[in-house]
Amino acid sequence: MKRRIEKTVVLGAGTMGSRIAAHFANAGLPCILLDIVPPNLSADAPSSERNKIVRAGLDAAKKSKPAAFFTPALADKIAIGNFEDDLGRCAEADWIIEVVAENLEIKRKLLTRVAQFRKPGAIVTTNTSGLPVHLIAEGMNEEFQQHWAGTHFFNPPRYLKLVEVIPGPKTLKEVAESLSEFCDRRLGKGVVVAKDTPNFIANRIGTFSMLNALRLMGTLGMTVEEVDACTGPAVGWPKSATFRTADIVGLDVLVHVVKNIYETAPNDESREMYKVPALVEEMAKRGWLGDKTGQGFYKKVKGEGQQEILTLDVNTMEYRSRQKAKFGSLEMGKAIEDTRERLRALVGPVLEGQKGDKAQQFLWRGLSETCLYAARRVPEISDNIVDVDRALRWGFGWELGPFEIMDAVGVKAFAGQVQREGRALSAVVEKVLASGRKGFYESEKGTTTVFDMGSGGTKKVEEPMGVIILKSLKDAGREVERNSGASLIDLGDGVACCEFHAKMNAIGADLIAMLHKGLKRLETDFDALVIANQAVNFSVGANLMLVLVGAQEQEWDELHAAVKQFQN
C-alpha cells in the first residue's frame, strides 16, 4: 500500500535542511523546520530567542542564490521550532527527514527522541551523504526500522535532480516505493535506488573522478585551468568542471567525504586513491576552502572597478592571473555539437595508438579510470547499470554516465586499449563483450535495452511513469514531419509535438515552417500541439547569423517577412 505524504518535518535548518524544507514548500507541502536551541539560553527565554538558529537557517534559504523558493510567498508554508519545545510536532508528520550534522551519535540520539513522538506508519529518513544508513537506526524498534531509509538530496535541492533512496535492511518495499514515487511526482526528482555502501552511488564515483583528476594534474604537469578545460563542457560535464566544483562544494566537505570512503571501504581495490591529497590537505590547513572562505583553487579579488578571478598555482601555492588553456584537440572538439561524437573524436587518436596532445592523454586516462572504477562497483553499489548512469547525470550534471561514456567511445575499442596498456577489465565489461552486444545499451524501434549483470541477459530500460522520450518515439516511427530545423512527432492521444533540433535550437526559417505545419495539422489530425525538446537548452533565440547576413546584404524585405511570419 502506497503511503500518503501530506505533511513533513525537517530536522536541521542548515544549508541542506532549510533548502529541502524550501523545496517541500515549492511542492505545496506544509513543512515544520526544527533545529537546536542556542547554547546557554535559559528555559524561560522567549521563543524568538529559542528559535534564533532555525530562523537564521530559514532566512538564509530565503536569501539564497540561486533562489531556493519558487516564489518568496511559499516560505509561509514553513513553520519553525526547536528540538526542545517543538519535537512533539513530529506526531503531525507523514515524513520526518533528519538533516543534522554528519555525526553518527548526534543523529542516533535525536532519532531516539523523535521515536517517542512519531505516529505509527510515519516514514523517517536521513539525508546523510555517507554514514551507514542501517547504523543510524540500529537498535530502534521493528516498526520504526520498517519505515526507515536514506534519502540523499543533492545541493541545491531545487536545482539538482538526483535523490538517492537507500533502503535499510528492514525497510518495507512499499515504503521505498512511496518515497521514490513522491520524490518523482511531487518533488520533480530523478530517483535511483542505492545500496547502503560508503557514500552510495554518485559521490562514490564522482569523488573518485575528482581525485583522479588531481592525480593526473600532477603526473602530466597541468595547471588548474587546463584540467578544468578538459573536465567541463568538452566532455559533457558542467562549466564548473573539477576545481570550480570543488570550490562551490567546499574543500572541507571534500576532505570529509574522502576520509569517510577511506575509513568505511576497506575492501575497495582503489582505497589508496581515497587518501586526502597533500595539495588539498595543505589548502584546508590554510583555510582555503573555496567559495565559503573567499578562496580555494580560484580567488575573487577586486580590481579597478571590477572583480578579477585569480587561479592557484599549485607549484608555488600563490595566486596568479588566469591563463587560458590552449589545446588543439579541445578547439577541434568545439565544432562537434553531439557529445558522443565529440568524445570519440577526442580520445580516438589514443585508441588508434597515437600519443595525442596533453588534453587527449588526460581525457583518456581520466575517463577510462573513472569508467573502470564505476564498472568495478557493480553490483556493490547498485545492481542496475542504468541507476549508476542516472546518478552521475542527475547528481553531477554529466550528460553521459560512465557506462554511456564507454558505449560512446565503443566498448570493444575501449577494452582493447585498456588491455594493451596492461590494465585489467572489470567483470561487467568482460561479460558484455562475451554476450556479443555492441554496448551496454542498445536501441531498436524506440525500445532501449540494457545489459543485466545479474542474469547476463538484457532488460528494458524503464522510464518513470509519465516521462516521454522524444528520441524513442522517433525511433518507433512516430515522426510525421521533419526538416533540418524541427520535427513533428505524434505523442498519442491526439497530441503532436514540435521538437526543435537545429544547432543550439536557434529559431530560423525551417523551425518556423514546422510550427506552421503543426498548426495546420491541428485542423485535420491533432487536437493539441506541444512545443518542446529535450536538448540541454530549449533555444538560444533567433538565428542572429542569418539576421546579420541578411542585414549585410540589405535584404530588408526578406527580414521583415521572416519576422512577420514568426510573429503571426
Residues 473-529 pLDDT 10s: 998 899 999 999 999 999 999 999 999 988 888 888 888 889 989 999 999 999 999
8-193, CATH topology level: Rossmann fold (3.40.50)
Q: What is the distance between the alpha carbons of residues 133 and 207, in angstroms, rounded to a whole number?
A: 20
What is the model's pLDDT at position 305? 67
What is the model's pLDDT at position 483? 94
Q: Which CATH number fits domain 202-385: 1.10.630.10, 3.40.1280.10, 3.40.47.10, 1.10.1040.10?
A: 1.10.1040.10
pLDDT tens digits, residue range 398-432?
A: 999 999 999 999 999 999 999 999 999 999 999 99
pLDDT higher than threshold 70 for residue 376: yes
What is the model's pLDDT at position 1? 60
Comparing 57 with 507, which gets the higher pLDDT?
A: 57
Segment 319-324 mean pLDDT: 94
At residue 547 the predicted structure's pLDDT band, cuts being 50, 70 and 90, is confident
Q: Where in the chain is the domain with CATH 3.90.226.10?
A: 477-567
Segment 362-380 mean pLDDT: 97
Q: Please classify residue 401 by burial: count the beta carbons closer than 10 Å to its beta carbon, then call 0-12 exposed, 13-18 middle and 19+ buried.
A: buried
Comparing 306 with 393, which gets the higher pLDDT?
A: 393
- pTM surpassing 0.85? yes
Q: Where in the chain is the domain with CATH 3.40.50.720?
A: 8-193
pLDDT tens digits, residue range 232-258?
A: 999 999 999 999 999 998 999 999 999
Q: What is the distance between the alpha carbons of residues 75 and 260, in angstroms, rounded to a whole number?
A: 34
At residue 80 the predicted structure's pLDDT band, cuts being 50, 70 and 90, is very high
Q: Where in the chain is the domain with CATH 1.10.1040.10?
A: 202-385
What is the model's pLDDT at position 482? 94
Place of cell 551496454: 440
Q: What's the mean per-residue pLDDT of the chain?
A: 93
- Give phi and psi for 337, each to the nearest 5: -75, -40
Segment 209-217 mean pLDDT: 97
Cα torsion through 506, 512, 513, 514, rounded to 10: 80
Residue 510's contacts (CB-CB under 8 Å, 6 or more residues apart) are: 483, 484, 485, 486, 502
Q: Give me the architecture of the 477-567 domain, per CATH.
A: Alpha-Beta Complex (3.90)
pLDDT higher than threshold 90 for residue 110: yes
What is the percentage of the chain residues whose pLDDT exceeds 90?
A: 82
Contact predicate 114/87, CB 8 Å: yes
What is the model's pLDDT at position 235? 97
DSSP-based three-state secondary structure for 193:
strand
pLDDT tens digits, residue range 18-43?
A: 999 999 999 999 999 999 999 989 88
DSSP bridge partners of 490 = 496
Segment 150-163 mean pLDDT: 95
Residue 297: which of 366, 217, 186, 353 has the closest Cα?
217
Place of cell 524544507: 21
Least confidently predicted of 49-58, 371-380, 443-452:
443-452
Number of H helices, E strands in the chain: 23, 18
pLDDT higher than threshold 80 for residue 203: yes
Segment 218-227 mean pLDDT: 97
Residues across the chain: 568
